[in-house]
Structure 1
Amino acid sequence: MLKWRGGPTGMCVLCQNCIESRNHLFFECDFSSTVWAALAHGLLKSRYTTDWQLLIDIISTNQFTKVEAFLTRYVIQAVVYAIWRERNGRRHGESAQTAERITAWVDKQIRNRISAIRLMGDKRYEKAYQFWIQTRD
């Protein structure tokens, strides 16, 4: 698209500092790394990274408990969706959201998903809500 005349500049619409790429958008961009760090640092602890490939490698291993694996994978999914939605919204003229607002939205989605699982009677993730709250401190 960069080669098309009159096309987009290719700059990241979230930070305006770098050419947009998958690795930059998820999670090297200053904006997206702020969201990612707020939600994932407490969950991943010493495994925390903003490197896409390392992150994929981490979640592809069996080094997590069932609850940790579920939350880690769900957080990645929710953050990627939220960042992509914000990126597209900005690209199409919508008002920019702050990193804090996106973080709060993702946190609420995660809490809602855990609550929905509990309401369905699934006991496998009984401790997920408490674990999630502990990672938020």
Structure 2
Amino acid sequence: MDVELSCLLCGSENESKDHLFFECPYSKEVWSSITTTLMFPSPPVKWTDIMAWLHSSPSGSTTALALLQAWQGCISELWNERNRRVHQGFTLPVSLLITKIISSMKNKCTAMSQIGSAHGDALLEIWSPS
């Protein structure tokens, strides 16, 4: 199997975990936009810094849960975007990927509320600012 070494999101550097999540200009824009939605306008972009930042959030708080959702949602959709480009030759603009992530987060929060989770409604308020 012939594997492309350069980043399929930006094409400017070799792909690595650190580059793909979130040093790449494309993924950095997604990550920054999603965290800004959560009122964190200057998130770290280096993997190790992000891990420390996530662990320093007050555990159990709704904001910490939303931040973890954001991180997971960004990673998942960025990986999907990378694979879409590999296997389908199709590219989504950053704005559409951001919309997909926020929509997915709202759907997860709604599902949490429907199954009786104490955090569902509070998280939904965070993801649905007025």
Whether 2:70 is the aligned partner of 1:75: answer: yes
Q: Secondary structure at the match of 1:95?
A: coil
Whether 2:3 is the aligned partner of 1:19: answer: no
Deviation at 1:71, TM superposition (A): 0.8
TM-score normalized by the length of structure 1: 0.83
| Deviation digits for residues 66-98 of structure 1 (CA, Å, limit 9, x no counterpart) | 211111111111110100111112112331111
Deviation at 1:43, TM superposition (A): 2.3
Between stretches 11-20 and 37-46, larger displacement belongs to: 37-46
Letter in 2 for 1:18: E
Question: 5+ unaligned residues in a row in structure 2: which ranges?
Answer: none
- Higher-Rg structure is 1
Q: Secondary structure at the match of 2:11?
A: coil
Letter in 2 for 1:43: L
Deviation at 1:129, TM superposition (A): 1.6
Q: Indicate which of 91, 99, 110 corresponds to 1:115.
A: 110
Contact 1:67 1:125 in 2 (8 A): no
Question: 5+ unaligned residues in a row in structure 1: which ranges?
Answer: 1-5
Partner Cα separation in structure 1 for residue 63 and residue 46 of structure 2 = 19
Partner Cα separation in structure 1 for residue 37 and residue 113 of structure 2 = 23
Q: Secondary structure at the match of 2:98?
A: helix
Q: Tell me which residue corresponds to 1:43.
A: 38
Whether 2:88 is the aligned partner of 1:87: answer: no
Deviation at 1:7, TM superposition (A): 3.1
TM-score normalized by the length of structure 2: 0.87
| Deviation digits for residues 9-67 of structure 1 (CA, Å, limit 9, x no counterpart) | 41111101111111110011111111111101342626611111111111123435521
Residue identity over aligned pairs, in percent, reads 22
Q: Secondary structure at the match of 1:81?
A: helix
Whether 2:130 is the aligned partner of 1:129: answer: no
Deviation at 1:131, TM superposition (A): 2.1
Partner Cα separation in structure 1 for residue 95 and residue 55 of structure 2 = 28
Aligned length: 130
